[in-house]
Amino acid sequence: GAVVSQHPSRVICKSGTSVKIECRSLDFQATTMFWYRQFPKQSLMLMATSNEGSKATYEQGVEKDKFLINHASLTLSTLTVTSAHPEDSSFYICSARWQGLEQYFGPGTRLTVT
């Protein structure tokens, strides 16, 4: 199957700082990338949909100025959590769509804001 990498896998930052998470499709060009967040014992929640070269589409309730998404190429999308707060601590997962509608997920980034 398709391979998606995510970096970093784990990050701890102080409240008020910004954190950038990278998502790369390693062996294919992704037409669309998605960013999800998952809190403990909860379902994946879609945050935004990202197409290369265009602005991301954010889900209702997700602040676009707080969660900055850049999809610079067909193999790279980045999510920047700006001015992070403890309530932003979560598991952030990206996915990439290759052929069809199946999504292939990165290994996730566990963010802890202290």
**Residue numbers at the binding site for other proteins (CB under 8 A):** 1, 32, 34, 42-44, 46, 49, 91, 93, 97, 101-108, 110
Nearer to other proteins, 17 or 112 (CB): 112
Cβ proximity to other proteins, 27 vs 83, nearer residue: 27
Between residues 17 and 39, which has the closer beta carbon with respect to other proteins?
A: 39
CB of 93 to other proteins, least distance (A): 5
The smaller minimum CB distance to other proteins, of residues 18 and 22, is found at 22
How deeply is 5 buried, as exposed, middle or buried, from its count of CB atoms within 10 A (0-12, 13-18, 19+)? middle
Cβ burial, residue 85 (10 Å; 0-12/13-18/19+): exposed
Q: How far is the CB of 108 from other proteins (least distance, A)?
A: 5
In the complex, the smallest distance separating the C-beta of residue 83 from other proteins, rounded to whole angstroms, is 26
Cα separation, 30 vs 110, whole angstroms: 23
Q: How far is the CB of 78 from other proteins (least distance, A)?
A: 18
Q: CA-CA distances (angstroms) from residue 103 to 4, 17, 35, 86?
A: 10, 31, 11, 29
Structure tokens at 11: 């990050």
Distance between CA atoms of residues 79 and 69, nearest Å: 5
